[in-house]
Structure 1
Amino acid sequence: MPSSTALAFQAPSLALLATEPLRAALDFFAARVGHLAPVQGDGHPVIVYPGLGAGSLSTAALRNHLASCAFTVHDWDLGVNRGPEGMFDAWLPALVERVRALHAGHGRKVSLVGWSLGGIYAREIARCCPGSVRQVVTLGTPFGALGTANHAGTVFRWLGGDASQLTPELQARLRERLPVPTTSIYSESDGVVCWRGCLERKGPMVENVAVQASHLGMPTHPEVLRIVADRLAQPEGRWKRYRARRLLTSPTTAPSRSRTSPAR
């Protein structure tokens, strides 16, 4: 019989996957039409990492919104995310060094925001240099079930990625909690990855925040943009779990349906 873990981590249905492009388009247009209430940031540096097969254009709406909230926003500057070049642990130090350089240049810790596979990068960078990272926010990142229960593996292989390096040891490391405040934003209607694989285990500086969004539309979804800005706007050293506010994206928009789920 299949194990309880196998039952818990199941890939989204093909029917849900098929609706991803349409739902992502709706998320994009909702962000274009609606009005996001500004959040007052403190100017600290933020790096945004795109998902697999995506580049800077895919996170432009998110970066523009964060910039409008007075954060100092940086793209990851490596073009299209085709996965790590070579072995992951040999490729990662260059990304770590950039975070350390921004920390030194700004004199302030750097917040890392990652969508899907980009969230894996953000998490592992923070694990390597926690003294330079203020917090990590991930969008639809299945760090708990990266090797299975998602449809992203096929895309990774199409892009020439080597999935063989995703050893049990590496997968176990990816699931470990980070030494910095961490927010995982996930959607139960995600058509690409298993939402249960995005849930962080219980801890004093972790939270899981649910939204109603497609996987492909997360970087443009108005509610996701608002939550990310809210998390980044917290005073340094005074992190608290997210509490959904009755903020509207437009005068006629229904109240937010986001919720904070207890960490596992």
Structure 2
Amino acid sequence: MTAHHHSRRAPHARALEAVTPSAPRALDRVLFRQRWQDVVFLHWPADPFEVAGLLPPGTFPDLSHGRTYVGLVFFRMRHLALGPLPPLPGVGAFDEVNVRLYSRDALGRRGVVFRSLDCDRLAPVAVARAAFGLPYRWSRTLSRWYGSRLLYRSRGRAGPRPTSQVWVDVTGRSVAPQPLDGFLTYRWGLHARLFERSYYLPNTHTPWTFQHCDLLDWDASVVAAAGLTPPTTQPVSVLYSPGVRVEFGLPAFLPPSP
């Protein structure tokens, strides 16, 4: 699929949903639940034409003031559970690092598209790849606090073994999200592809709260491994959040592209 194809206006496109701190729609049913803890977001501007060629058919780059972004996101996954059941024993807690892009579809829904997701639990990797077509990769991941400093590190176990790292000093002082922060984090679903069809998976979560942090070091080699031009400058946005409780609903396939 070429960038030119994705850059065309979607036929009969509905109005684009607003960027809101709460989900614009309730879930009909909760498919699974989880908590994202100690979340660190790094973002850089990305070429919309490059991004367009990496999105599922029927989706388009989401823009803020004419720009789109690539995100490198680190967090601790906790309390993974199916529907109303208790958290899964043994596999419901792990560290994750993902590379994500920002998308919209013809129904006006904003979302994210994952280009890679690294985690150190093989069972979630296998299930997410088979059931949802998500590009999870079994990797060696580490997260550790050193006083107020938080370190994340990830390295693939096979093939080119891409790496990622972030090292931040969290001051604990609350900060209000800026408009760009909202565009990057107020996301109420993901777009992906399964069985040659694109789909949208909705989510809801508690409101984001952010704390000031200083970026000490980073390694975004995994961005190049995800098919994007690697960043060479400091990220334009660095965010830390203590975390949110998240629920995911049922997936819905997108209308076929003309």
TM-score band (shorter)? under 0.3
* Between structures 1 and 2, the one with greater helix share: 1
TM-score by length of 1: 0.26
* Between structures 1 and 2, the one with greater strand share: 2
